[in-house]
Amino acid sequence: MTRPVTALSPAGDHNAELDFSVGAVSWPAIIAGGVATIAISLLLTLFGAGLGLSFTSPWSNAGISGVAFTINAAIWLIIVQWAASAFGGYIAGRLRTRWTRVHTDEVFFRDTAHGFLSWALAAVFTVAFLTSAVASVIGGGARMAGPMASAGAATSAMSAPAKPGPGMMAGPDNGPFAYYVDGLYRGGKTSAVDPEARGETTRILLNSLKSDNMPDADRDYLAKAVETRAGVSHEEALRRVTDAEAGLRDMETKTKEAADAARKSAASFAFFTFFSMLIGAFISSVAAAIGGSQRDAY
């Protein structure tokens, strides 16, 4: 027993009477395709995350490198878009309402439009997760740069003509400069270092980061303060000041490198996401055309 075939207008017959009783857009089919795209994307993303975590390791000389992980993640992102969009687009085309007495070119356009709309619907619902991922990557560098900025803000607050308070002492007491200030005054007289002296020391160290070297006047002044309060020789005080300055410069360099690495990672993620979604839109449209053609053949 053969199934009836929908009577479509022959190709090239542009004067065929159209059937306007059925709308050109089948939203149930589009929604079904979009939901399928989201579900397949979620499953493949979780599977890829499991694979990625199984091949990475916090230990040195173990697991794949960061570059290899980025490349594999980009390839997997394209595979996810390809597979999910193909599945969702096919469903959107296969489940759409059959159009009668419609030109074949118009049928092809409507099918591809259904595939594209199902992909777009899935993209709208997943863009929040993609935005969150990008913000997380960028935020990683921002969080690493945050302590340096917080110390600068605290130091600026201490230098303002305002009444000292507990919050204004947070920079030299708890910020990234605290360790180096402690190292300068480490000794039998460390407990005698008052908050004002620690704040002044922090401002001198912070000001030295604005230039290539600490001014000689600041270096001598800070060395004398260390010599007096820590009870060490002048040579030891100069060595401590030099070591503290070098440590802060190294911390600043690492912070900038981390922020730059986060910027590059965010840019790469954005480009890979763009290309993968572009491929997904094309694949979904083609798959919907295939599904619609098979739908009309039965």
Arithmetic mean of pLDDT, 181-186: 82
Whether the CB-CB separation of 271 and 77 falls below 8 Å is answered with: no
pLDDT in tens, 143-157: 544 544 444 444 444
Whether the CB-CB separation of 248 and 214 falls below 8 Å is answered with: no
- The pLDDT value given to residue 13: 45
Residue 228 pLDDT > 50, yes or no? yes
Residue 5 pLDDT > 50, yes or no? no
The two three-digit tokens of residue 293, written as one number: 């053609």
Whether the CB-CB separation of 217 and 196 falls below 8 Å is answered with: no
Quick check: helix, strand or coil at residue 175?
A: coil
Q: Which of 121-125, 186-190, 243-247, 283-287 has the lowest mean pLDDT?
A: 186-190
Domain boundaries, the chain: 27-144+261-296, 150-254
Question: pLDDT over 90 for what percent of the chain?
Answer: 13
Whether the CB-CB separation of 280 and 82 falls below 8 Å is answered with: yes
- The pLDDT value given to residue 283: 93
Residue 118 pLDDT > 90, yes or no? yes
DSSP state letters, 69-120: HHHHHHHHHHHHHHHHHHHHHHHHHHSSPPPSS-BHHHHHHHHHHHHHHHHH
pLDDT in tens, 232-284: 888 888 888 888 888 888 888 888 888 888 888 778 878 888 888 899 999 99
Arithmetic mean of pLDDT, 194-200: 81
Question: pLDDT over 70 for what percent of the chain?
Answer: 70
The 10 Å Cβ neighbour count of residue 38 is 20
Q: Ranked by mean pLDDT, which of 28-42, 90-104, 126-140 comes out on top?
A: 28-42
CA atoms of 87 and 293, how far apart (whole Å): 15
- The pLDDT value given to residue 214: 87
Arithmetic mean of pLDDT, 174-203: 74
CA atoms of 220 and 127, how far apart (whole Å): 56
Q: Give Dmax over CA atoms of the chain in angstroms.
A: 105
Residue 104 pLDDT > 80, yes or no? yes
- The pLDDT value given to residue 289: 92
Residue 15 pLDDT > 60, yes or no? no
- The pLDDT value given to residue 57: 66
Q: Which of 38-52, 119-133, 195-209 has the lowest mean pLDDT?
A: 119-133
Q: How far is CA 149 from CA 13, 165, 187, 249, in A?
A: 70, 20, 29, 14
More confident call, 62 vs 248: 248
Arithmetic mean of pLDDT, 68-86: 84
**Residues whose CB falls within 8 Å of the CB of residue 225, separated by 6 or more in sequence, listed in order:** 197, 200, 201
Q: What is the mean pLDDT of the chain?
A: 75
Q: Ranked by mean pLDDT, which of 75-84, 173-182, 191-200 comes out on top?
A: 75-84
More confident call, 13 vs 214: 214
Q: Which amino acid is at 97?
A: T
Q: Which of 49-58, 126-135, 255-264 has the lowest mean pLDDT?
A: 126-135
Arithmetic mean of pLDDT, 160-187: 59
Please list the residues that pair with 103 across neighbouring strands.
Answer: 9
Whether the CB-CB separation of 8 and 101 falls below 8 Å is answered with: yes
Arithmetic mean of pLDDT, 1-15: 42
- The pLDDT value given to residue 73: 79
